[in-house]
Amino acid sequence: MSLMNNLSTSMISSSSSPFLAPISFNSSRTQSVTVPPKSISLVKCVSTPQEQQTAYKTKVSRNANIAKLQAGYLFPEVARRRAAHLLKYPNAQVISLGIGDTTEPIPDVITSAMAKRSHGLSTLEGYSGYGAEQGEKALRAALASTFYGNLGIEEDDIFVSDGAKCDISRLQVVFGSNVTMAVQDPSYPAYVDSSVIMGQTGQFQKDVEKYANIEYMRCTPENGFFPDLSTVARTDIIFFCSPNNPTGAAATRDQLTRLVKFAKDNGSIIVYDSAYALYISDDKPRSIFEIPGAKEVAIETASFSKYAGFTGVRLGWTVVPKQLLFSDGFPVAKDFNRIVCTCFNGASNISQAGGLACLSPEGFEAMQEVIGFYKENTKIIVETFNSLGFKVYGGQNAPYVWVHFPGRNSWDVFSEILEKTHIVTTPGSGFGPGGEGFVRVSAFGHRENVLEACRRFKQLYN
């Protein structure tokens, strides 16, 4: 028996960047191979089953609370869809007005201070190792005088950290799993997700898009984005953000007075997120501690991220007044201090040097200029959507524009905008069921990108 076998081989070509380009196979070149005749008396084929590959599993159960979380955290999911869009349209000029990340350079007066501190670490005189977990004394004092002068907040009430988001999770550890929690709806998703992870909630209820055992305080255009507290059930913890992310609404003095009274009447603790306070341009309160009695019921978190472009530098702070007590009379600050000392080694000494520079007269002025730039971006975006006939909220006291698309699914609008304009926004439903029908547009961006984005919005919706 003679056997002739023609074999083809393929040449494999790859992009110089395997992370950016798919591998392609080039079959244009073939090679012919001649096999000499061979006498074969018997051919026997034996089929051997492929060994089933199974991964080794430990005997450790997964945290059932993490398993409750739905899909991915909002902003990584937005980033994933952006990446998929770029694979589909590799030459698209994508503009990101979605994830609220700053884009403008940090003022030189601030980076110079960080550079000086950094270079000082190379000298015997300037080197420092572990610092106080609560933050350097000079920075805590500067924070107290700059943001809380005449409000009765002292430097030892302030805990310097690597950001407000990180402190939100540390506070959840302080509160534990047996507390009940309320959030604005819509609101920054870290409040809900950290509550789920801590075991404070029940399962996710798909029919209403809510977790059981969380009190969702609905904030709508009809109630001025401040919840009707007469309909809100009593909870132990109340997360409240003003100016709000995502709606951009800033609470009035009267509204915050009602919130503090509501907390006192119910024996609750308010966790007040003031990460955008310096964007307030009218007479609304910038701190919850401007409200009489707030020190007995409130904690405040804040950050340099959106003021000085510290999203990557990482520096924030949390205020826990001495007057804030648990039901047994034990100071909340002492427990927070224990968590900070156990789970955290303090903010970077280099970033703290930058924070101190931010609070110098020259640094604070430079920081205000950056904030003013983003507020101009916000004005351009608001005017664009107003001219197209949309109902637009926020923008005056926050770097976010909350655009209403009545009757439409938020993720569908997100996809439509991305597909047709190559602009990334954030779907409102990602902030809670109250955000359905809205899209958040961030004002963080280079001016030319914001102008180009607005031109594309007009082209799509005119």
What is the model's pLDDT at position 52? 64
What is the model's pLDDT at position 54? 81
Q: From first to last of its 462 residues, what are the pLDDT tens digits of the chain?
A: 444 444 333 333 333 332 233 333 333 333 333 434 444 444 444 555 555 678 999 999 999 999 999 877 788 889 899 999 999 999 999 999 998 899 999 999 999 999 999 999 999 999 999 999 999 999 999 999 999 999 999 999 999 999 999 999 999 999 999 999 999 999 999 999 999 999 999 999 999 999 999 999 999 999 999 999 999 999 999 999 999 999 999 999 999 999 999 999 999 999 999 999 999 999 999 999 999 999 999 999 999 999 999 999 999 999 999 999 999 999 999 999 999 999 999 999 999 999 999 999 999 999 999 999 999 999 999 999 999 999 999 999 999 999 999 999 999 999 999 999 999 999 999 999 999 999 999 999 999 999 999 999 999 999
**Main-chain phi, psi angles of 238, to 5 degrees:** -125, 115
Domains of the chain: 66-104+364-461 (3.90.1150.10), 108-363 (3.40.640.10)
What is the model's pLDDT at position 457? 98
What is the model's pLDDT at position 390? 98
What is the model's pLDDT at position 70? 85
What is the model's pLDDT at position 6? 41
What is the model's pLDDT at position 7? 37
